[in-house]
Amino acid sequence: MNKQTVLDVDLQRKRVLVRVDFNVPLKDGAVADDTRIRAALPTIQHLLAQSAAVILCSHFGRPKHGPEPEFSLRPVLPALSELLPGRKINFAADCVGSAAANQAQSLAAGEVLLLENTRFHSGEEKNDPGFAAQLAAHAEIYVNDAFGSAHRAHASTVGVAKLLPAVAGLLMEAELRYLGQAVLTPQHPYVAILGGAKISDKIGVIQNLLQKADKMLIGGGMANTFLRAQGLALGASLVEESALDTARALLHTHGDRILLPLDAVLGDRFGADAKVQTIAVAEGVPDGWRMLDIGPQTVERFGAALHGCKLVVWNGPMGVFELAPFAAGTNAVARLVADCGATSIVGGGDSVAAIHGAGLAGRITHISTGGGASLEFLEGRILPGVEALNDR
């Protein structure tokens, strides 16, 4: 991805508008998980170290009717202050308008101004040129560090980028580098691991990665549909009837590179207290039982496929890992990915949660922060928020 980054431009004493993703969970009016704020710190600190005046903007939740107090970014202020000790952090109660404009213009070098939720204005999601111009007027340079919002063509992700010199922040740069490796310049052998509930959510990813990867390991609910397409009995398992033809076509064209489960952990119902048995997939699933995890032979098969690979991309858990009896397959694959010695890229909210749950986050080369954006990127689409950045 040949996009300019904050390392390519002179930021000394410049006013810089930074699109961050501060869409963080709150509890009792306070930030409950500051992961996304921390993820933006390298870029913010880089700008502050160059004596830039840093103006931060973000969406927060999905307000429907303009400014609604429950969607205010104000609770982020104390969390951000704590992470930037000794820095003056200001807050603008509206992201545009004369008060915000004055605050932005009078912001001193090395200070931070957090703007209120961009989605309080309908112009944000409509990518309204007038609204984008008001945002752009705050600054001399625009930095996009909100990879997770880059698949949306909004005023704060695309509109402003057309009005100012626009470069990637450090988080955005890392996402583009690693996900770019997955879809544009992979090292081989390259193994893709896909799971999660449904084929239909990820058909674009499956199709695109089958063009790039040497092998694709498929688990989770989506494997059921492939197994059904091969004619196996699946009992009460989740099967997407509407995706059977697609699954059949993919197996017909790429069957030699698609590895499916050999065995499965079944539950007699969907719950942590279900009765459990492990079967060979070829035997078929008895009536009333459902496949809720991959079994140990499958883990072994997947481990062998990963042996010696140079790049592994994983998206989607191997089973219903939220329920303890069906978490072993996902945890084992997380360990295989961490241990295989390859460059490892993990994306997807649930897969990332599984990596954290297994305590393996530090052993993964790149954990993608963008759910929908990562999927669209892996589908091979060009994200509008990325496209809008200046080329190198």
| Site residues, ligand ADP (CB under 6 A) | 196-197, 201, 220-221, 238, 291-292, 315-317, 319-320, 322, 348-351
Active site (annotated) includes residue 316: no
Active site (annotated) includes residue 381: no
Query: If you search the block for the tokens 């509930």, which residue do you land on?
Result: 197
Contact 161, 155 (CB under 8 A): no
Active site (annotated) includes residue 198: yes
Residues present in the chain in total: 392
Q: Binding of Mg ion at residue 372 (CB under 5 A)?
A: no
292 burial level (CB within 10 Å; 0-12, 13-18, 19+): buried
Q: Which residues of 361-374 are buried (b: 16+ CB within 10 A; e: fewer)?
A: eeebebbbbbbebb
Strand partners, 194: 218, 315
Q: Which of 162, 198, 363, 381 is catalytic?
A: 198
Contact 116, 91 (CB under 8 A): yes
Measured from the CB atom, the residue of 349 and 357 that comes closer to Mg ion is 349
Decide which of Mg ion, ligand ADP, none touches 221; Cβ closer than 5 to 8 Å per partner kind.
ligand ADP
Measured from the CB atom, the residue of 316 and 385 that comes closer to ligand ADP is 316
Q: How far is the CB of 105 from ligand ADP (least distance, A)?
A: 42
Decide which of ligand ADP, Mg ion, none touches 201; Cβ closer than 5 to 8 Å per partner kind.
ligand ADP
Q: How far is the CB of 349 from Mg ion (least distance, A)?
A: 4
The two three-digit tokens of residue 310, written as one number: 């140079």
Measured from the CB atom, the residue of 99 and 282 that comes closer to ligand ADP is 282
Decide which of ligand ADP, Mg ion, none touches 292; Cβ closer than 5 to 8 Å per partner kind.
ligand ADP
Measured from the CB atom, the residue of 53 and 291 that comes closer to ligand ADP is 291
Q: How far is the CB of 315 from ligand ADP (least distance, A)?
A: 5
Q: How far is the CB of 295 from ligand ADP (least distance, A)?
A: 12
Question: Nearest to Mg ion by Cβ — which residue?
Answer: 350
Look at phi and psi of residue 275 and say left if phi exceeds 0, alpha if psi is from -120 to 50, else beta: beta
Distance CA 227, CA 244 (A): 9
177 burial level (CB within 10 Å; 0-12, 13-18, 19+): middle
Q: How far is the CB of 350 from Mg ion (least distance, A)?
A: 4
Q: Binding of Mg ion at residue 293 (CB under 5 A)?
A: no
Contact 209, 378 (CB under 8 A): yes
Decide which of Mg ion, ligand ADP, none touches 291; Cβ closer than 5 to 8 Å per partner kind.
ligand ADP
DSSP at 3: B
Q: Which of 15, 19, 36, 119 is catalytic?
A: 36
Contact 149, 59 (CB under 8 A): yes
Within 13 A of 70's CA, how many CA atoms are on the CB side? 8
Binding mask 347-366 for Mg ion (x = CB under 5 A): --xx----------------
Measured from the CB atom, the residue of 214 and 322 that comes closer to ligand ADP is 322
Decide which of ligand ADP, Mg ion, none touches 320; Cβ closer than 5 to 8 Å per partner kind.
ligand ADP
Q: How far is the CB of 316 from ligand ADP (least distance, A)?
A: 4
Mapped onto helix, strand or coil, the DSSP state of residue 190 is strand
Active site (annotated) includes residue 372: yes
Radius of gyration of the chain (CA): 23
Q: E-assigned strands of the chain?
A: 15-19, 26-27, 30-31, 53-57, 89-92, 112-115, 141-144, 166-168, 190-194, 215-218, 258-259, 263-267, 276-280, 290-294, 311-315, 343-347, 366-367
DSSP at 109: T
Q: Binding of Mg ion at residue 204 (CB under 5 A)?
A: no
Q: How far is the CB of 330 from ligand ADP (least distance, A)?
A: 8
Measured from the CB atom, the residue of 140 and 201 that comes closer to Mg ion is 201
Binding mask 311-350 for Mg ion (x = CB under 5 A): --------------------------------------xx
Q: Which of 349, 357, 371, 380 is catalytic?
A: 349
What string of DSSP letters covers 127-171? T-HHHHHHHHTT-SEEEE--GGGTTS--IIIIIGGGTS-EEE-HH
Measured from the CB atom, the residue of 196 and 235 that comes closer to ligand ADP is 196
Active site residues: 36, 198, 349, 372
Interface ranges with Mg ion (CB under 5 A): 349-350
